[in-house]
Structure 1
Amino acid sequence: MNTNSGKVTLLSAGPGELDLLTLRAAKALAVADVVLLDDLANPEIVSLAPQARVIRVGKRGGCRSTPQAFIERLMRRYAQKGLHVVRVKGGEALLFGRAGEELASLREAGIAVEIVNGISSGFAAAAGLGISLTHRRHCHGVTFVTAHTEDHGEPDWAALAATRTTLAIYMGMRRIGSLAAALLESLPGHTPAAVVQWAGSIHERRLLTRLERLAADADDAGFGSPAVILVGDAIGESVQALWSQDAASCDDAASARAA
């Protein structure tokens, strides 16, 4: 039986602005003793944890990162001292954030764990584009996939393309050329595609294109990490929405000139 009064909260910080946090997340931060801050989380989040010791444990692909084993040791160490540790993770903690490894480590040590869900960057990207990832006119689902497998290989892109779902691809910018080429073996070149960088933040950038132009257009526009790549017919709804907005703006301008 665990008699330790300490605990760990795996907290989803969302993709960007603080107003995307849940109320539960804000409450957990307010009473945190220690905050382990992910590199992709908005650094301003520490303002919501006034009494906490803040330790930055950055993890970002292609950059020098804090070892995962060290992060897990920190969580166990402070929780075993009876402290409330809040592990702040960008986006949704349970999606591509190594939460499974952390949960296993903490449970093995007999430490209580709470999970606070949040908004994933894939959903924030869709919101920025003004689309539904599961528009029933175009698909029957959405597949969230990371471009990096545990053995540093790549997913089975042909199998993913065969699902005919919207693909929300995380951590794929360094492999955007190879993944686009692999998908083109199974999908037509005119398949709508998009890249959304820094989704859900004031720095958000969006690129709408076709699968055959995805890598070249992203490179020409200077898109990089962190970004979500979206592929599928549902993405085309964003193009239609933009055309509608442009047409409405033209109509308004024409009306103003006539007046």
Structure 2
Amino acid sequence: MSGFKTRELPSDAFVLYIDAYHCDIKEKNKIRKASVYVVLGIDLQGNKDIFGFYTFFSSENKADWIKVFNDLIDRGLKRIMLIVSDDFPGISKAIETLFPYTDHQLCLVHLQRNVRNQMDKEDSQVFNKELKNIKENSLDYEDGLEKLDDLCSRFKSKYPSFIKHIQSNKERYLCFLKYPENLRKHIYTTNPVESVNSMIEKVRINLGGYFQSVDILEINLLIQRDNLKNGKWKKPIPAFKGASYEILQLFNKKFSVQTQNY
């Protein structure tokens, strides 16, 4: 366990996917609710791996995210092109602080779920249909932003707070449109890491509804990771491997600008 948590990471990554797995864990003879943040990384060659996982019994905040990112940095990770996550409290500020040149994509699938929760059925269907159109048919990032502004203006008077929230994060919701079209479908959602969490959820159910300790939870995470590394993740992901030249060009362009600004 300690070897995994302290192992050296690649210095550069194309994308990190971060998602929270919520579960019950027994600690000091009490069942407590915990959040486990799984960080799934893909390097510049398209290799996938779990870079780290972090268990907290407190609610999300910037200080905890600083700890997470500092751990990744301490183990060698220096430059990340893109981070894909949900809108966790404090995560955007932490990314801006420690990875100021990294793009931050908020999960578009989670936004669609929020739309269904915040709007009535008819309005949510219209909004999400238009959101799908923006995702699939925008010419580029600027075109997508313009279309999202137009869409939000149609619903602003009826859902002022919710629409204000969307507009305040519009650059993060549409960040994936900055990237080549053949990569966009892979980087607008946290689904890649959610699939890992779903495996752990099956283990929890088989164990009777909760984990006996943090160690048992993390050991099971490691088992799932090892199974994936020996199976589906043994070779680079075809979509990313096929676009490795484009990814490298984008990466070098982004971080050559960073170097010039120092």
Instruction: Normalising by structure 1, report the TM-score.
Output: 0.28
Larger Rg: 1
Instruction: Normalising by structure 2, report the TM-score.
Output: 0.28
Higher RCO (Cα < 8 Å, 6 or more apart): 2
